[in-house]
Structure 1
């Protein structure tokens, strides 16, 4: 059976409509376009249900057969979200007060999806983290209420089943995957104390002794926590609002790794600067980070926080894995020019390098073959529209908002993971009727008097090429054995020279020729090949310099980029020296 064609939901000043994805790329006729002002919309997790709000009503629509489940008079819904299994619909309206209701209206409502009945209402003043968080099987759900986490079981919202209370809990994330559920909570530091993140397994709450893991750190005004898909580890991006060194406008960020087995680590990023994007591979065994002052670096790390592949530097600030995890896109959106790099994550080979200028949004299609880039208001109020691409760089469909019109949101219809299987990767650009996939780079302006003369162009930054780090990691693992072997050889040579010096001091023949004795005692062993001796001498000099840099690093000194790169080459230099000395 052929897999379904995902739909693309679109809302803007023209109302709300759905479009068939590739290869059709036409407006879907099962869903009737609603020309009223759409305030929000969403799909259920499996894509079978669709809900949207207008200035007058709230609707729930069944996608498969095009049947409207219900429409009720709930005006100006600002946000809407389905529970994971699609049994409950959560809506949020702006919090308001009136003369009749001094406390305000209960603006967070939970609806039974099948009947349209409101099953529970809450007060929720802030839009941030407004929606309750469910486990994948909906056995538990969580809300943050006045620095307490309130847990409900089996969608019974009239009874709080459990509470987790910590001083000033300001954030939490619930693990995905199967039971038992885990929750990561963040508590900011106070009175000079450190901030911390703790991992608990539901319902085993209590003090630090009951936590699965505990990670404390300074320099954290806020954090972003991200579980991997298996629910075994969390990546924590800790941020400060102000960089006290004055090096960054964005403040200062650090990246931490915490696992449910208690292991934790600081992810070492070899380039200074902001952390723009952190994403887990859907396989849960690696993650990619985009970081550093522009041009930014991008590196893939394994779960031991060891670098696996370095993509070098480039104009990027975001990373996106395909739903199957076999393709990765590095992109530079926002204040950058929309350059994208599409990579095969198995071979670490670049597939394409398209450009989507002025894009504000990027989404992978569930089939893992297509993407959509969009320019939406209010981020940009001109040039609104979207493009559907194939990952090889071909533009398959282009939509431009009408003159004076705005595009507000686009969203792919989601599907369960098993619906679309991973397909072999293509490197040749697929056929397209739209336009050329390659964009000509803009030429720098040159005065007429210089146009017929050779240009003297110099780059502001030195670009770093991609580098496979797997071999480097293996060398680092073997470094202890290699270093120990070389150390024994050096100690043996040193003992031999000292013994020779002692014998020479006792020998009367050498006493008559002191200059010759001095030369013999201080000269290193020679191979008889001047070039080989010179190589050995230079290698020893470089290794000694690296040892000095490592001592400075251990003492807390901040090393430069080139100095860190020298340290990373120590294993290769030691191996090269060992091979040369074995040939003596």
Structure 2
């Protein structure tokens, strides 16, 4: 049976079956009490949730309770990768009598429900310990040091990684060998840095596998690829003189010691970074709107440019065969689905007011939901096919709220990669991402209506392959092809100017000039031999030519202005001046 969709809201927890049985009821009895949070194990065989005064864990195959604990006010919970440990976090409190802090981070054995260890974890940020996939190593950050436990034995700290003022860390999920990265923010003019170590070799800076330092960093987000061989570090500042979003830098670090800044072809913030499940490439969405999306390889070289569009997040399906570029938050919810192998656009859809997006484990269906408290109006969920077909839409009642929605996970390998069958959708979709249409046009003044705008608000770029060499026809070189394009552009421009000149000349009245004037213009202008006299004669001839044009306009019936009539009266005196120079014959 396909994994169901699990929902949490004011009605408690309930399930609905996913595709292909969309909309059919699930056997899950549900929970009617108000639930603070819920969590699945990675293989989907365990589901845990907490009410106001209890924590319940069930087996999703039989829907029977595994154990139940009388614990109140649990805020966060999660399972270890193999589902053997359940960790829960409560708000930090202080005992009023002893003035000592109460433990608020608890680890339980899932098979028995026995408490294994409790810790004090004051802040909710980075509250949860991290495990490797085989649960060989568990790590948590405590007072600027990383503490490591082995094989789910939390009574003994095996190793500590001491890095002064370490604030963030990231443990690669694969291994052995196990690798971990730590971030130390800069202070007093010193740069921030990230160092990568192999567990348990933490013998100072010289033992680091790789290191990368950088300025302009208040916080970082670190993401390992699935094989633990490469790390992406997104550094951010809260304020910037040039950017509302602050400054961002995207850094690539390899366990082989390589480190570099990921190149970006457009200025602006980095909205989202996502590794492919195949661990061989990653996608970055960046740049001022309309944002650009680019696919990179493990050398931080661009593989494909998806062009620009209204997007700020990227999602790969579990098989890595489909990439969804979406625009949520203050964007309209545009969805673009790309075939990552052929790098072609499959389909487009629109899911406005989306707060949750998640691919189904089969990689062909996906979920969009509008949840509270982010949005309290229009709460509900939709189930789609990647070709853009909407299979189901459910809205909750007006006096109820939907808080969370997620697919039940399945063991890896349950849904292998399949050949995408989207011929029908591809025939309808454009080969490049089209410019999104605008229903309500921008205001234009009455005198400008019905004409083409002189500028565009956004220039959208089409997708392109930066590694594909341009095709050269008939053996032409690249420079020859470029010059040919310039010549063609000049010819087209000259043709347009000629057409405009012919149109203007045909619209003007045709008046024949006197034969004496035409003969004088066509003949060679005589010279007196004196440069000063010749210069004066040229000025007189220009004035006589202007007078002749006025006489022609008057003959054609045009009403002259007073200053033009006065100019006509100067013709006689100008002719006399020309005669005094001994050149009266060249105008008579």
Question: Normalised by the shorter chain, which TM-score bucket?
Answer: 0.7 to 0.9
Corresponding residue of 2:64: 67
User: How far, CA to CA, are the matches of 1:424 and 1:145 in structure 2?
Assistant: 47
**Alignment partner of 1:340 is 2:340:** no
- Give the whole-Å Cα distance in 2 for the aligned partners of 1:535 and 1:321: 42
CA distance in 2: counterparts of 1:472 and 1:318, whole angstroms: 29
How far apart are residue 85 of structure 1 and its match? 0.7
> How far apart, in 1, do the equivalents of 2:185 and 2:199 lie?
22
Tell me which structure has the larger Cα radius of gyration: 2
Deviations 1:134-191 (A, max 9, x none): 1111111011000010001111111110000010010111112221110011011112
SS of the residue 2:206 aligns to: helix
Whether the aligned pair in 1 keeps the contact of 2:364 and 2:386 (CA below 8 Å) is: yes
* Aligned pair partner of 1:383 in 371, 378, 384: 378
Judge conservation of contact 2:17–2:26 (CA < 8 Å) in 1: no
Q: Does 1:274 align with 2:269?
A: yes
Kindly indicate whether the alpha-carbon contact (under 8 Å) linking 1:18 and 1:27 is maintained by their aligned counterparts in 2.
no
Cα distance 1:359–1:444, how it changes in 2: closer, same or farther (>3 A)? same
The question of 1:232 aligning with 2:229 is answered yes
Task: Map 1:26-65; keep pairs closer than 5 Å.
Answer: 26=23, 28-65=25-62
Query: Does the CA contact (< 8 Å) of 2:382 and 2:392 recur in 1?
Result: yes
SS for the counterpart of 1:209 is helix
- By how many angstroms is 1:456 displaced? 4.3
What are the within-5 Å matches in structure 2 for residues 220-299 of structure 1? 220-243=217-240, 246-299=241-294
Deviation at 1:535, TM superposition (A): 5.6
Q: Is the 8 A contact 1:316 1:331 kept in 2?
A: yes
Q: Distance in 1 between matches of 2:253 and 2:448?
A: 57
Matched, 1:397 2:392: yes
Q: Any idea what SS the aligned residue of 2:368 has?
A: strand
Deviation at 1:401, TM superposition (A): 1.3
Q: Pick from 290, 295, 303 the counterpart of residue 298 of structure 2.
A: 303
Tell me, yes or no, if structure 1 residue 173 matches structure 2 residue 170: yes
Question: Which residue, 459, 470, 479 being the options, matches 2:467?
Answer: 470
Query: Hey, what's the Cα distance between the residues in 2 that align with 1:49 and 1:282?
Result: 23
- What do residues 253-299 of structure 1 show as CA deviations (whole Å, max 9, x unaligned)? 01110000101111110111100000111111111100000010000
- 1:71 Cα shift? 1.4
SS in 2 for 1:468: coil
Change (3 A) 1:183 1:445: closer
Deviation at 1:66, TM superposition (A): 1.6
Quick check: 313-322 or 449-458, which moved more? 449-458
**Aligned residue for 2:536?**
none
Aligned to 2:79: 82
Moved more, 386-395 or 63-72: 63-72
Is 1:24 equivalent to 2:21 in the alignment?
yes
The residue that corresponds to 2:457 in the other structure is: 460
- Given that 1:61 and 1:68 are in contact with CA atoms closer than 8 Å, whether structure 2 keeps it comes out as yes
- Is 1:323 the counterpart of 2:323? The answer is no
Distance of 1:534 and 1:365 partners within structure 2: 51
Q: How many residues align?
A: 474
Match of 2:93 in 1: 96
2:232–2:253 CA contact under 8 A, matched in 1? yes
2:519 is matched with: none
Taking the aligned partners of 1:424 and 1:313, their CA distance within structure 2 comes to 27
CA-CA distance at 1:452 after TM superposition: 9.6
Structure 1 residue aligned with 2:125, among 111, 125, 128?
128
Question: Structure 1 238/174 Cα, relative in aligned 2: closer, same or farther at 3 Å?
Answer: same
Distance of 1:395 and 1:451 partners within structure 2: 41
In the alignment, which residue of structure 2 is the partner of 1:154? Answer: 151
Unmatched runs of 5 consecutive residues or more in structure 1: 431-437, 476-481, 487-530, 539-584
Q: Distance in 2 between matches of 1:197 and 1:29?
A: 47
Quote the residue 1:366 is aligned against: 361
Give the TM-score of the pair, scaled to structure 1.
0.77
CA offset digits 1:320-345 (Å, max 9, x no partner):
01110000000000010100100000
| Distance of aligned partners of 1:143 and 1:474 in 2 relative to their CA distance in 1, 3 Å threshold | farther
The residue number in structure 2 matching 1:545 is none
Structure 1 residue 98 displacement after superposition: 3.7
Distance 1:38 1:119, change over 3 A: same
Q: 1:191 to 1:367 in 2, by over 3 A?
A: same
* Equivalent-residue separation in structure 1 for 2:377 and 2:282 (angstroms): 35
Structure-2 change in CA distance of 1:367 and 1:451 (3 Å): farther
Q: Is the 1:308–1:473 contact (alpha carbons within 8 Å) kept by the matching residues of 2?
A: no
2:201 equivalent in structure 1: 204
In structure 2, how many angstroms separate the alpha carbons of the residues matched to 1:183 and 1:145? 15
**What SS is found at the alignment partner of 1:470?**
coil
Task: Please report how far the alpha carbon of residue 443 of structure 1 lies from its aligned counterpart in structure 2 after TM superposition.
Answer: 3.5
